[in-house]
Amino acid sequence: MSTETSNLKNNDASFNDDDEIDLVELFKTLWENKKTIIATALLFAITAGVISFMLPKQYKSTASFFITESDKPSSSLMGYAAMLGVSTPGNIESLIKNVLDSYSIKVNIAEKYHQDFNDAIKEYKASAPSPITPAHINDFIIYTQLKLDKNFSFLVNKNNLFELNYISQDKIQSKTILEHYLNNIIKYNESLELSAEKNIITIVDPPRLPLKKFKPNIKLNIIIGGIFGGFLSVIFVFIRSSLFRK
């Protein structure tokens, strides 16, 4: 019994010695290749910085409003939803969500930008194989030029506060797009017949002109690039060291 216990202790001691040797070897390998690791990390960081600097700047505008009523929609509001071609809402909050997501409001906004994208529309017509209708042009503006499906978003908190966001390479455009969204909602709201439901929304923060770019975040990209480059170089050093040992 004492012999077995002694053997177990010896085995544990040898395992501990091996672990200590492995750790020492790892740190030794890292230290010997520190210049390679640092150089690789710096290279990745500089590359990330240069790429980020060359990327187009994007600006984000925000606006917010809250719903003053959230009862079940009346027949007037139900007709309002049908006019927009959206699903039947369970309450006014759902109705506003459907309006913001609706294709109808996107078309209304796109039609205001026909003149601004006149040159792009001409190129689109010239390259298109089939005749271009007004609907095609609206889709072109919505999904290719303004990218309302990707660059526009909204959030709703538990207090029915809506926060609208739009990202664009143009500072002014990022602001005006949100203004168009709000104006459309207000216009639809004012067309309702029942006076009790005239003031569905109250604007808290009107759209603001961005003071600084939203993307790219050059500093963050440089840090991430440096960390990623350092991580890759450490893996490379360990793999190369293990292959040489074999």
Which of 13-27, 84-98, 201-215 comes out lowest in average pLDDT?
13-27
> What mean pLDDT do residues 155-161 have?
82
- pTM strictly above 0.85: no
Q: Contact, 46 vs 56, CB < 8 A? A: no
Question: What's the number of CA atoms in the CB half-sphere (13 Å) around residue 88?
Answer: 4
Mean pLDDT score of the chain, rounded to an integer? 81
Q: What does the pLDDT read at residue 79? A: 59
What is each CA distance from 135 to 14, 42, 93, 151, 237, in whole angstroms?
A: 77, 50, 29, 21, 58
Instruction: Give the pLDDT confidence of 39-85 residue by residue, as tens digits.
Output: 999 999 999 999 989 999 999 999 999 876 555 555 555 555 565 55
Instruction: Give the pLDDT confidence of 162-192 residue by residue, as tens digits.
Output: 999 999 999 999 999 999 999 988 887 666 5
Strand pairing category for 201-205 and 59-67: antiparallel
Q: Contact, 198 vs 2, CB < 8 A? A: no
